Amino acid sequence: MSFVPEAGATPAARGLVTRLVKAFRAMPWSVLMAVAVLLTVAFVTIFARFILPFEFDQMDLRARLAPPLPLEGSTWIHPLGTDKLGRDVFSRLLIATQTSMLLALLGTLFGAVLGTVLGFVAAHFGKWVDEAISTLVDFQAAMPWFIIALAVLAFMGNSMIVFLFLMGLYGWERYARITRGLVLAAREEGYARAVHALGGKPATIYLRHVLPNILSPLIVQLTINFPETILFETSLSFLGLGIRPPMTSLGQMLGDGRDYMITAWWLAVVPGTVIFLTTLSMSIFGDWLRTRFDPSLQD
């Protein structure tokens, strides 16, 4: 455990670019690889529509279950092979990645914003507001959200809106808990009291002073939650309860491919590998961020 914050931790208002370059140079090769994977995934998420060789649901029944490239019988037309309906796996993979990443991103951000706001509200109002929010946090932390999600999908029916709602609520309680604790601590700190004594409104104190000062642990939490949200979506879709045909996501593709493990193993392995590489890269990158920017959370 290091007690000395590294250079990156000093909040000096130095040029962002020089700091980024410095951070980049200090990366170990594993983190560099992780960043490369994440950048690729981000690129695919943004530009999937433009690099798509086929429409993702375009069928070619004469070329069903074609194998991927190095294998015998593969073609350059379908570099990752085709599925049971002769759809191009590469194209499907691009769209599935886009769907899964956008959902995970939206879900993570929604949960982060909701949790952070509720954390501020709990810390600011205290008393019964705090009690109520803390009880909700305890409840959410006590029950596995995956199970709750399954139950809600059963009760409310399997609709896209319910699914999005469940994604958005995933993990909010962690931000709420962290924010509440940090705000309570920051309020005891001199600078928040000092701005209060200068005549600052609570909103000014929270937004201009407290939030920027507690941002780094929240960002660290974001990097922890993002891969978990990916897994949340892909798990539900894998079970056939999240994204369902005609739409596709990485989990849905994997769940689909499961039925062809004997004849066409790549249908499961290709999307599974993408999920694994993404969550792995995010974990490696998140670990690196954490040790670098948040010495208090360091191993």
Partner 1 sequence: MTLTYLGWKLLRAVVTMWLVVTFVFFILRLTGDPVAQLLPDDVDQVTIDYYRKLWGLDQTIFVQYWNYFLALFQGDFGVSFRDNQDALQLVLARLPKTALLGLTALGFALLFGIPFGVLAALKKNTAFDRFVMGLAVFGFSMPNFFLGILLILGFSLQLRMLPSSGSETWLHMIMPVFTLGTSFGAQVARYTRSSMIDVLNRPYMRTADAKGAETSRRLYLHALPNAAIPVVTIVGLKVGELIGSAVITENVFAWPGIGRLLTSAVAMRDLAVVQCILMMIALTMVLSNLAVDLLYGWMDPRVRVGNREGANR
Partner 2 sequence: MSVSLGQQSAANQASESSDPIARVLSVSRSFVYRKATLMRQALSFKAVDTVSLDLQRGETLAVVGESGCGKSTLGRLVAGLMDPSEGRAVFNGTDFASLSHTDWRSSRKRVQVIFQDAAGSLDPRLPVEIQVREPLDLHGVGSPSERSLRAAAMLEAVQLGRHLWAAVPSELSGGQQQRVVIARALILEPDLLICDEPVSALDVSIQAQIIALLMDIRTQMGLTLLFISHDLAVVRQIADRVAVMYLGQIVECGPLDQVFSAPRHPYAKALLSAVPVPDPAAKREKHLLAGDPPSPQTPPSGCRFRTRCLKVQPLCAQREPQLVANGDHEVRCHFSEEPR
Which of partner 1, partner 2, none does residue 16 bind to, with CB < 5 to 8 Å depending on kind? none
Which of partner 2, partner 1, none does residue 191 bind to, with CB < 5 to 8 Å depending on kind? partner 2
Nearest distance in Å: CB 221, partner 2: 19
Q: Alpha-carbon distance 33 to 220, whole Å?
A: 19
Peptide bond into 246 cis (omega under 30): yes
Nearest distance in Å: CB 209, partner 2: 5
Where does this chain touch partner 1 (CB under 8 A) — which range of 12-20, 45-53, 209-217, 263-271? Answer: 263-271
Q: Alpha-carbon distance 241 to 208, whole Å?
A: 42
Which of partner 2, partner 1, none does residue 239 bind to, with CB < 5 to 8 Å depending on kind? partner 1
Where does this chain touch partner 2 (CB under 8 A) — which range of 96-104, 200-208, 249-257, 265-273? Answer: 200-208
Closest by CA to 146, choosing from 278, 273, 276, 238, is 238
Q: Alpha-carbon distance 22 to 32, whole Å?
A: 13
Burial (Cβ within 10 Å: 0-12, 13-18, ≥19) of residue 122: buried
Checking phi first, is residue 27 left (phi over 0); if not, alpha (psi -120 to 50) or beta? beta
Q: Which is nearer to partner 1, 199 or 245 (CB)?
A: 245
Site string for partner 1, 151-190 (x = CB under 8 A): xxxxxxx---------------------------------
**H-only helix segments in 80-189:** 89-125, 127-142, 145-156, 160-169, 172-188
234 near partner 1, rule: CB under 8 A: yes
Residues found near partner 2 in the complex (CB under 8 A): 10-13, 189-191, 193-201, 204, 209, 212-213
